[in-house]
Structure 1
Amino acid sequence: MASERGSSATRWAGVSLADRRSERRALLVEAAFELFGTEGEAAVSVRAVCRSARLHARYFYENFAGTDELLGAVYDQVAAELAERLLAAEAAGQGGDPAAGLRAGIHGVLEFSSADPRRGRVLFTEGRANPVLAARRQATQTALMDAALQQSTQVRPELGSRQARVSAAMFTGAMVELAHQWLSGTLGEDLDAVVEYAASLVMHGDPRC
């Protein structure tokens, strides 16, 4: 115990109390991201996360009430990173070509999720029965639907308000399933082809049109 206290003192020497707590929180989130993204929800325990982060359990409870709250923080971090990617896609659509923005958005979600498979597991696949993650995923889908509704009116201005909302709802559900299928490898390896086909379905209802 004395050696642990000495090691901890050396590790945080010269770091302010607020910065120590912030750094420890980041270490715990990163450790949980690795465990959850590679081994699944069952691998995320207080002991396993603290062992991976090389932190005492008291530092865990300094930041989180339990593992569900920690998993929520992991999801929030990955979702925020994805949001940054999608902002760039949205900018592409503001240049007068909403179809380009649509393609960039679909590409952004799929590429971000598969470039690091841990991200896709956090966002779409692992812990689907976890209430904290389920609530966050639902909130993300709602935000995606709002964005899809706005984009739908740009890509297909001939649609009425009800038709646009139906289209946005179908796109949102389809996008989640598309991500599942892309991550599972059932759609092949040609990301550009998948994106083009999906975008054509949204824009025309039939990719041959």
Structure 2
Amino acid sequence: MLVQAGFRLFGADGEAALTVRAVCREAELHTRYFYESFADTGALLAAVYDQQAAALGDVLAGALATAGLGPESRVRAGIRSVLRFISDDPRRGRVLFADTVSTRRREAETALLESLIASSGARSPSLSMRVAATMFTGAMTELARQWADGRLGDDLDAVVDSAVELSLALQSTRR
């Protein structure tokens, strides 16, 4: 209940809204319960981030599991699912891209990078493969951030089409 209250408050009004009293009022709990679960609001925000990152991971995994085997369908499914996740509830983007969770976000980006490399099936990934995965991870993070901030317009299909086209063009230059 505290994590959901933290999500609602932070997602709506940012870090300034995330006080112990406000969270407890939102969750309809005594402050004692807050301090039994979290050391401070930073720890609560970390839990809120972890919850949203896990939900995004589940959505992404589901999209990739149902995508075709070809690179275009997998890239399209992945990009669309990430951007749709943020579009469906803009509070998610506020949480996932908050400066106060930058360490956690960096860990999540590193995990994504490692999973991209692992999914290639290469036993010993080349430097080129590691660089490409690093660039894709960074580009996807910034694409999602720009989408969340509304800087790419509101046409999800157009953004996905452009991102897929560019991603596939970069992949083809590596061959």
Provide the TM-score with structure 1 as the length reference.
0.75
Structure 2, unaligned stretches of length 5 or more? none
| Runs of at least 5 residues in structure 1 that lack an aligned partner in the other structure | 1-26
Per-residue CA shift, 1:66-124, capped at 9, x if unaligned? 1111111111111111111111122135x422321111111111110121000111112
CA distance in structure 1 between the partners assigned to 2:117 and 2:168 by the alignment: 13
Q: Work out whether 1:35 is the aligned partner of 2:9.
A: yes
Per-residue CA distance 1:4-33 (angstroms, 9 max, x = gap): xxxxxxxxxxxxxxxxxxxxxxx1111110
User: How many angstroms apart in 1 are the aligned matches of 2:166 and 2:59?
Assistant: 22
Conserved? CA contact 1:92–1:98, under 8 Å: no
Kindly provide the amino acid, as one letter, of the partner of residue 140 in structure 2: M
8 A contact 1:92–1:100 mirrored in 2? no
**How has the CA–CA distance of structure 1 residues 179 and 203 changed in structure 2, closer, same or farther, with 3 Å as cutoff?**
same
- Compare relative contact order (CA 8 Å, sep 6+) and give the higher one, 1 or 2: 2
Rate the CA distance shift 1:80–1:194 in 2: closer, same or farther, 3 A: same
- Alignment partner, residue 113 of structure 1: 86
Counterpart of 2:161 (choices 196, 201, 205) is 196
TM-score, normalised to structure 2, is: 0.88
AA aligned to 2:145 is: H
Equivalent positions of 1:170-181 (< 5 A) are 170-181=135-146
8 Å contact from structure 1 (residues 148, 168) kept in 2: yes
Number of equivalences: 170
8 Å CA contact 1:90, 1:105 repeated in 2: yes
Per-residue CA deviation, residues 148-171 of structure 1 (Å, 9 max, x unaligned), is 3345x48xx9xx721111111111
What's the offset of the Cα at 1:43? 1.1
CA distance in 1, matches of 2:141, 2:20: 30
1:67 maps to amino acid:
T
Give structure 1 regions of 4+ aligned residues with deviation exceeding 6 angstroms: none
Query: Match of 2:130?
Result: 165
> What is the 5 A alignment of 1:82-121?
82-93=56-67, 95-121=68-94
Is 2:152 aligned against 1:184? no
- AA matched with 1:104: A
RMSD: 2.1
Deviations 1:165-186 (A, max 9, x none): 1111111111111112112222
Pair 1:81-2:49 in alignment: no
Work out which of the two has the higher radius of gyration on C-alpha atoms and give 1 or 2: 1
1:28-69 CA deviation, whole Å, 9 max, x = no partner? 111110111111112101111111111111111111111111
Q: How does 1:147-166 map to 2 (within 5 A)?
A: 147-150=115-118, 153=120, 161-166=126-131
Counterparts of 1:90 and 1:179, CA distance in 2 = 17
Q: Contact 1:149–1:167 (CA<8 Å) still a contact in 2?
A: no
Is the alpha carbon distance of 1:196 and 1:147 closer, same or farther for their aligned partners in structure 2, counting shifts above 3 Å?
farther
CA distance in 1, matches of 2:25, 2:77: 40
